[in-house]
Structure 1
């Protein structure tokens, strides 16, 4: 069985602090949203995620090599993201390792950030956010912040598996998905999920840079989007992440 290891390298995250997580998937919504949150809040790097099945890629930041899947935190929040798509064979082991880590830390809430492909995204000025919770507590949280529950559909890939795994383990988790371009970096959709996170978690993250710098962000994310599309094809995600007809 493949192992995915979570390595803590810095100051240990505060126990029970909420976690936001976003991996490269539809429109890179989660990746863009979590990266923007990390940069805006100046979160410190406190760990990374490693697996022999991850691509042999090393990120370079500030002139230093970094593992591509990293964990950041301050006293109030933990953020997890990756600069490479999660290989399909690593999704289940990654889910198991993260769920164990959340349980060990007694994480109060996990918020997964992502996108749901919308065929008419180009004509949508402000993407709507849908949500899925694993419990009545999560459903209540969604309702309190005006998030429409996704009642029916299929969620494939790392985000969907993580949602299910957390639910099975009793980890309070919600998945926020903004209407997004499928294979095109979508900072506008990322701004929508960050806005909801601001309200849910009491954050104050400015989303204007995501909208004002859309083109620069898209250019910078082109290569990651290309690799992510291949990863999504591996799990046949193009059909499975469509909004059900009731939401059309």
Structure 2
């Protein structure tokens, strides 16, 4: 973690501000792991757990200057951007503290892809939830994978992933899949069955489990499961905000089957 945000490089991509705090290089194969507040808060809970378990270093932040309403994240009295980037070895971790407003999804997604290309990231991997009416009946939710790229497909086959069979994806990860080839990326989205509008640490745990296979890194999920009830209570308010944003983005499509917002 950085002690202070001493910005050494700053660039604006499509109205999105990316600030780096130190020089770094990524060895190949390199990965960007992404989590946003989403169905069941799977993305946010997963990424926060990864950061706690792997202890990567905070090396950059992303700000949305014209975010409405304006939001500042404060930690120990110090300002932090609402989206943070961490690094450990050849892996970057991107986690958002706030739900992504519908009018910001496209510029933010393209800025992330552009940043991946400039930083020579090979794989972008999203962790997210699928809101499921069947979730209540399952102690351990299922995980499905969507992908773009031959190497991403090979990675799924090696790790015996269940391919997401049919449906439509909405939100940032839809853009990551659609635009992967154009940005010379392999794209892989890990979708865990989750409660649509309740924080779901158990769903996050199965997403992290599958990610650990993909990365060939041991990542314990013990604390995530032990603290599940605490996490549910702590993230209850952000789940309400996230559900509102998801509704705004998908309202016209909510009645159609097979459409997912992540």
TM-score normalised by length of structure 2: 0.86
1:10 aligns with 2:25: no
Q: Which residue is equivalent to 1:182?
A: 196
Instruction: In structure 1, list runs of 5 or more residues that go unmatched.
Output: none
Alignment root-mean-square deviation, CA: 2.1
The Cα offsets for residues 20-63 of structure 1, whole Å up to 9 and x where unpaired, read as 00111111101110111011111111111112233422222244
Structure 2 SS opposite 1:99:
helix
Q: 1:233 aligns with which of 235, 247, 250?
A: 247
SS at match of 1:235: helix
Corresponding residue for residue 145 of structure 1? 159
Q: List runs of 5+ in structure 2 lacking aligned partners.
A: 1-12
Which is further off, 19-28 or 47-56?
47-56
TM-aligned CA distance change 1:184 to 1:200, over 3 Å: same
Structure showing the higher helix proportion among its residues: 1
Deviation at 1:123, TM superposition (A): 1.4
The CA deviation at 1:127 is: 1.1
Instruction: Within 5 Å, give how 1:1-248 maps onto structure 2.
Output: 3-14=15-26, 16=28, 17-54=30-67, 55-236=69-250, 239=254
What CA distance in whole angstroms lies between the structure 1 residues aligned with 2:34 and 2:137?
Answer: 28
Task: Answer whether contact 1:155 1:241 (CA < 8 A) is retained.
Answer: no
Aligned length: 244
Moved over 6 A (4+): none
Q: What is the CA distance between 1:178 and its match in structure 2?
A: 0.5
The 2-side partners of 1:242 and 1:180 are apart by 17
| 1:13 Cα offset (Å) | 5.0
Q: Which moved more, 1:53-62 or 1:112-121?
A: 53-62
> So what's the TM-score if we normalise by structure 1?
0.91
Q: Distance in 1 between matches of 2:46 and 2:255?
A: 22
